[in-house]
Amino acid sequence: MRAEARVIPAAAPDPAVAAKLTLTQLRALLQGRAQPRHRRRSHPAARCLPGRADAPAPAGGTGDGPSGPRPARPAGRRLHGRQRPRASRHRVFNQHPDAGIITSFPGLGPLTGARVLAEIGDDRSRFCDAKGLKAYAGAAPVTRASGKTRAVLHRRVKNQRLAAAGYIWAFSAISASPGARGHYDRRRKHDDRHAAAQRNLFSRLLGCLHHCLATGQHYDENTAFPVAAPATHPIAA
């Protein structure tokens, strides 16, 4: 809070006292703390003080007596009010035919899954292949080439809401899926930074999601992240 904004509440803590302050008294209170814009003929702070003639009247009364500011609701009622929209969103999302496939992926719950479904839609013809979906979400990199120079950069033109949901999805999948954790660790060993490795994991999960939605299959850990068989060396005779 600015210094001049604390002067008036300290001098007039009560609305009745603040209503009696004149412009001259306001200027005296703000002198030495206010910027030049505060020394205008009609001070903006004067219009914000309750009880003045030009102050906006609060809804339902003038601010005096029983029609004053409404008391704050208890914390329990506020929490219950916040939980009701979330429960309704979960109920609507679970009624969708693709909800079971989406929530079968590690790191995707009803809330994040609903955001992913809302952004990619349920039209199977919207994305011809997984590459289009990855580019739409910003998970696929973009290549810039000029002459002998070639650079692979992070895609910045994307669906920001889907990219934000994908960041949370990939971050949660690292802890929920051993295959996702191994994929992330391999990208880190290849000198990828945390954001780049997590974005690569998001791209891998998006490809699996596109395949599962197109074929109607649920997520399978062994298919998404197959374990490489150990290399065998022939024994010399």
For the segment 111-128, what is each residue's pLDDT rounded down to a tens digit?
A: 999 999 999 999 989 999
215 and 112 in a common domain: yes
> Which residues touch 166 (CB under 8 Å, ≥6 apart)?
116, 137, 138, 139, 199, 202, 205, 206
Residue 61 lies in a domain: no
Residue 197 has pLDDT above 90, yes or no: yes
Asked whether 119 and 159 are in contact (CB, 8 A), the reply is: yes
Residue 179 has pLDDT above 70, yes or no: yes
Closest by CA position to 206, among listed 177, 155, 176, 165: 165
What is the mean pLDDT of the segment spanning 177-195? 95
198 and 112 in a common domain: yes
Residue 47 has pLDDT above 80, yes or no: no
Residue 165 has pLDDT above 50, yes or no: yes
Give, as one character, the DSSP assignment of residue 62. Answer: S
> Which residues touch 98 (CB under 8 Å, ≥6 apart)?
117, 122, 213
What is the mean pLDDT of the segment spanning 24-47? 60
Residue 83 lies in a domain: no
* The pLDDT value given to residue 4: 65
Residue 130 lies in a domain: yes
128 and 31 in a common domain: no
Rounded-to-integer distance, Cα 27 and Cα 9, Å = 14
99 and 9 in a common domain: no
131 and 193 in a common domain: yes
* The pLDDT value given to residue 52: 52
Residue 66 lies in a domain: no
45 strand-pairing partners = none
105 and 159 in a common domain: yes
**Is pLDDT larger for residue 98 or for residue 60?**
98
* The pLDDT value given to residue 56: 54
Confidence label for 38 from pLDDT (cuts 50, 70 and 90): very low
Percent of the chain with pLDDT over 90: 49
105 and 197 in a common domain: yes
Range with the lowest mean pLDDT among 19-28, 93-102, 186-195?
19-28
184 and 123 in a common domain: yes
Q: How far is CA 29 from CA 46, 87, 168, 213, in A?
A: 12, 50, 49, 66
Looking at the structure of the chain, the number of domains it has is 2
Residue 148 lies in a domain: yes
Alpha helices (runs of H) in the chain, residue ranges in sequence order:
7-11, 15-19, 23-30, 44-48, 75-94, 99-103, 110-120, 130-137, 160-176, 178-189, 194-215, 221-224
Residue 28 lies in a domain: yes
151 and 202 in a common domain: yes
Q: Express each pLDDT in 52-76 by its tens digit.
A: 555 555 555 444 444 455 555 555 5
198 and 127 in a common domain: yes
Residue 162 lies in a domain: yes
* The pLDDT value given to residue 183: 95
109 and 38 in a common domain: no
Residue 149 lies in a domain: yes
* Residue 199, domain extent: 93-220
Asked whether 209 and 105 are in contact (CB, 8 A), the reply is: yes
**Is pLDDT larger for residue 14 or for residue 98?**
98
Residue 129 has pLDDT above 70, yes or no: yes
Asked whether 19 and 52 are in contact (CB, 8 A), the reply is: yes
205 and 98 in a common domain: yes
Residue 17 has pLDDT above 90, yes or no: no
Range with the lowest mean pLDDT among 43-57, 80-94, 108-122?
43-57
